[in-house]
Structure 1
Amino acid sequence: MKKNKVLSPCINICQTDPINGYCRGCGRTRIEIASWGNKKTSDEWKRKNLKEAENRLVGVQRSLFAMAYKEKHERLYSQSLKK
């Protein structure tokens, strides 16, 4: 994994809130989630969306997301160094 690659914010808590339409794990909408899988989606858009999605999360939910995303990034980066 490239160090500057924008890692998907998915933390495997995939549940859409029926009221606001945001994923309870990462704060993204279904359309945003689909856009991340599109190879034409720019890293610039992903970085902006990552911040927007994180800002939708509040309190403990936001803290848990930040911790899980950081651990995911560190785990994947350290695995790439072993290759």
Structure 2
Amino acid sequence: MAANTGSWRLERPVINSEECIYCGTCQKFCPTDVITVTKAEDDSSVVIDFDYCKGCGICANRCPKKCITMVPEEGVCKS
């Protein structure tokens, strides 16, 4: 069983589901393969496994609709 490697993340991706076209680009480029995109006529979704997401922002940079925003992780101490 892998360790929870997302614990050091400083930012997390947030998906704007109203803008998302569920194209799968974020899933394709995620270096840790923690994004699952499901496109269905009645129930499309983007699920991110935050236990392993590093917060690298590649998904946000590659999104053709720019509907992924990197936001500060709650509880992170900033100096």
- Work out whether the TM-score is over 0.5: no
Q: TM-score, structure 1 length as denominator?
A: 0.33
Higher relative contact order by CA 8 Å / sep ≥ 6: 1 or 2?
2
State TM-score, norm by structure 2. Answer: 0.34
Which is richer in helix? 1
